[in-house]
Amino acid sequence: MENVENVIVTKNLTKVYQMGVVRVHALKEINLTVQRGEFVAIMGASGSGKSTLMNMLGCLDQPTSGDYFLDGKNVNSLDKNEYAEIRNQKIGFVFQGFNLLARTTALENVELPLMYDRYNRIKEPHKAAKSALERVGLTDRMNHLPNQLSGGQQQRVAIARALVTQPSILMADEPTGNLDSLNSIEIFSLFQALNQEGITIVMVTHERDFADYATRIVEMRDGHIRRDWIIQNRRNAQADLVQYKANGSETEEIYEQN
């Protein structure tokens, strides 16, 4: 069994897609370790393999070969139902599209994942959903419908929904892709706050400026990990947010001054 402090461990993780007579090697023997409490940004150009890697880590797809340990358990040997179960219990997802039900309140949207909690891990679903929304700063928006919320607030609801199952890891796929600069910085301020609380975050982004809010960057190219490094001068989203609101500057100007 892998060290449980390593929430993610992959060994020679490989994914090959068969496109007619052509075999496409999307991932090539990826060896990656993510420790509990890290905030990792996965970057790379289109076709680099970053989205495929996210799908593997999120148990949305299975590798062609290699091993994947999540919270010390090798998930490759699980059947379809067990795969879905570990995905529901161990992983919280935040996507570029908020994926909220339009005619359902913020509170009800956050409660949805708990309907699939077959083992009744969360004893008080309604209370847990309220707590998750409070955690992301939406105490006064619980009974609002998505169309009554701003884009940033909708993404906060999506983050609360991801957190409500108390996952081992939060997976974020271009989480600010549909947001303006101000709301993007606010979301990263929330991510950094959650990370400081001990939440492990793995995020796919194509924006280097946003990747600098993480603690570590993994750069993909042609299905390989090209570079993997710790960020020495991590950006502080809260400080950027204060500066942005104070002077009304464009995000690019904030980055240039830091």
pLDDT at 3: 58
| pTM for this prediction | 0.90
159 Cβ neighbours under 8 A, 6+ residues apart? 94, 136, 170, 175, 187, 190, 194
- Say yes or no: domain 36-63+79-257 is CATH 3.40.50.300: yes
pLDDT in tens, the chain (258 residues): 455 589 999 999 999 998 888 899 999 999 999 999 999 999 999 889 999 999 999 998 889 999 999 998 899 888 888 888 888 889 999 999 899 999 999 999 999 988 876 667 778 889 999 999 999 999 999 999 999 999 999 999 999 999 999 998 999 999 999 999 899 999 999 999 999 999 999 999 989 999 999 999 999 999 999 999 999 999 999 999 998 888 765 544 444 444
Query: How many Cβ atoms from other residues are within 10 Å of residue 101's Cβ?
Result: 11
Domain residue ranges in the chain: 36-63+79-257
| Matching residue, tokens 């946003």 | 210
Taking alpha carbons only, the member of 129, 198, 138 closest to residue 162 is 129
Cα separation, 217 vs 4, in Å, equals: 22
- Structural Rg of the chain based on CA atoms: 18
